[in-house]
Amino acid sequence: MKNALRVLLILGLALGLAVPVLAVDELSGAGATFPYPLYSKMFDAYASETGVKVNYQGIGSSGGIKELTNKTVDFGGTDAFMSDEKIAETGADIVHIPTCLGAVVLTYNLEGSPELKISQDVLADIFLGKITSWNDDAIAALNPGVSLPDMDIVVVHRSDGSGTTNTFTVFLTKINDEWADTVGKGKTVEWPTGLGAAKNSGVAGMIKQTPGAIGYVELAYATENGMPVALIENSSGNFIKPDLMSTSLSAEGDIPEDTRVYLADTSAAEGYPITTFTWIILYKEQNYDGRTLEEAKALMDLLWWVTHDGQVHCEPLLYAPIPEKAVGSVENLLKSITYDGKPILD
């Protein structure tokens, strides 16, 4: 009896020690729900191609940054890039790798799902709580052919820390002084009005179930659920429908070497004004907390695939792929990731 127990104990220990060596077939990431539909598809395809399983949890951009800072995941996902101060606070250098471009759309729940045009001022006023009824004159003036009901507007926003919120509020801050003074921008803001729901999926769900609701979600969440999207006025005065073309056009301006830039309120005449890159964030120096070279290499192989072969998955889900002119910067960024000072990719 005692001998059997002893053998079992040794076996258990052996297996326990063996597990880390066997487990480089799994990578973990957490963060933004903005690209979640895309990452789901990509990582599924990657697993069938290479056998490496990637576990990505959509917990919001703030969550992604926090998990990476705590080193509990291999990589984080965020659509609100970290500022130099924030990176300095983590005590190590963090690199942002853009994976795609996406659009933040305004979706709503009205009978008949009419296609609405919303100007920049009306948009800000709705979210400031100044326009409270769907048949308000301001909205009616923009949409002459549509019969708007006499219903309260129920604003829905994010209750968790969100890169999608950041993109939306960056846009509102740029185009509306009152918003800039009273609310400002950020992953979490003090909303003047509206209900809160967690994650893009929560906001989409709440809008779908609440008549008269309006809120902001990533494009895929609206289209996959058959919900209408609004045409938003951009800086050229055109009302643009969010789709693949208008999203790609919004990246016309200069993109810096480290790709950390806000794309909202683009100057492109036919560009949709509320778009953003979404980034995968990871440590520049991959030898930390006992990480092995194999683990770092597995991560880099994944990221190279995501930014090259994996880009084919973007368009079917209405995400725009990394623009041509940024590909060079992306490759440089990937090659800058080191293990013990030596670049992992060549």
Partner 1 sequence: MTNKKDEKKGSRYERNESIFQWILIVSSIILLLILIGIFVTLPLNSMDSIKEFGLRFVISTDWSPQKELFGALPFIVGTLLTSFIALLFSIPFALSIALFLGEYFTHGIISTILKSAVELLAGIPSIIYGFWGIFVLVPVIRMLQIKLGIAPYGVGIFTSAVILTIMIIPYSASIGREVIQLVPNDYKEAAYSMGATRFEVIRQVILPIARSGVLAGIILSLGRALGETMAVTMLIGNVNKLPDFSVAVPEGFSLFSFNSYVTLFDNILKGFLDGVFSPSNTMASIIANEFTETTTDLQLSSIVEIGLVLFIMTLIINLIGRYIIKKTSVM
Q: Which residue, 138 or 195, is less far from partner 1 as judged by CB? A: 195
**Whose CA is closest to 339, among 302, 303, 298?**
298
- The nearest distance, CB 151 to partner 1, in angstroms, is 8
Interface residue with partner 1 among 12, 129, 149, 211 (CB under 8 A) is 211
Q: Which residue, 186 or 323, is less far from partner 1 as judged by CB? A: 186
- The nearest distance, CB 34 to partner 1, in angstroms, is 15
Q: Which residue, 74 or 295, is less far from partner 1 as judged by CB? A: 74
Site string for partner 1, 141-160 (x = CB under 8 A): -----------x-x----xx
Dmax of the chain from CA atoms? 86
289 interacts with partner 1 by CB under 8 A: no
Hey, CA dihedral for 303, 308, 310, 314, is it positive or negative? positive
Interface residue with partner 1 among 84, 150, 181, 190 (CB under 8 A) is 190
- The nearest distance, CB 18 to partner 1, in angstroms, is 32
Q: How far is 203 from 160, CA to CA, in rounded Å?
A: 11
What is the total count of residues that contact partner 1 (CB under 8 A)? Answer: 27
197 interacts with partner 1 by CB under 8 A: yes
Residues 303-342 within binding reach of partner 1 (CB under 8 A): none
Q: How far is 93 from 14, CA to CA, in rounded Å?
A: 36
**Whose CA is closest to 343, among 285, 304, 291?**
285
DSSP strand pairing (213-218 vs 338-339) = unpaired
Q: How far is 230 from 239, CA to CA, in rounded Å?
A: 9
List phi, psi (to 5°) of 287: -90, 85
Q: Which residue has the tokens 């009901």?
A: 149
| CB-based contact 318:223 (threshold 8 Å) | yes
Angstrom distances, CA of residue 7 to CA of 3, 11, 16, 211 = 6, 6, 14, 65
48 interacts with partner 1 by CB under 8 A: no
59 interacts with partner 1 by CB under 8 A: yes
Stretch that binds partner 1, among 60-68, 106-114, 225-233, 254-262 (CB under 8 A): 60-68
**Distance from the first to the final alpha carbon of the chain:** 56
Stretch that binds partner 1, among 203-211, 217-225, 288-296, 334-342 (CB under 8 A): 203-211
Residues 87-126 within binding reach of partner 1 (CB under 8 A): none
Q: What is the binding site for partner 1 (CB under 8 A)?
A: 59-60, 62-63, 65-66, 152, 154, 159-161, 184, 186-190, 194-198, 205, 209-212
